[in-house]
């Protein structure tokens, strides 16, 4: 993972990472549902595309960004934990 992808030190600790990951995924679900109720109010066409769809594209881009952060947090926290060498993983092999 490049330096730019790496979340800050705080989320590398497992409890914080768990909260951040769960929070982002919950937020993703809320946004996925919420947009369907809210965007319909925006009518009108721009370049032949309804305004709500332009907004939905922006929302989807933000959702993808959030998903990237969530999975980065998850990946980094798990990697840090396995590097610590005291992960209770039942002797399972790691890649």
Binder to other proteins among 25, 30, 69, 76 (CB under 8 A)? 25
The least CB distance from residue 57 to other proteins, in Å, is 7
30 binds other proteins (CB under 8 A): no
Minimum Å gap between C-beta 12 and other proteins is: 12
Is 8 a binder of other proteins (CB under 8 A)?
no
| Cα distances (Å, whole numbers) of residue 81 to 14, 34, 86, 92 | 7, 35, 8, 14
Q: Check: CB of residue 76 under 8 Å from CB of residue 17.
A: yes
């Amino acid at each position: 993972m490049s330096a730019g992808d790496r979340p800050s030190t705080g989320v590398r600790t497992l409890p914080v990472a768990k909260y951040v990951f769960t929070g982002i995924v919950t937020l993703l679900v809320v946004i996925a549902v919420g947009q369907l109720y809210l965007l319909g109010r925006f009518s009108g066409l721009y370049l032949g595309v309804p305004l709500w769809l332009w907004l939905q594209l922006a929302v989807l881009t933000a959702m993808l960004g959030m998903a990237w952060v969530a999975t980065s947090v998850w990946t980094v926290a798990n990697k840090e934990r396995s590097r610590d060498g005291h992960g209770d993983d039942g002797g399972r092999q790691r890649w």
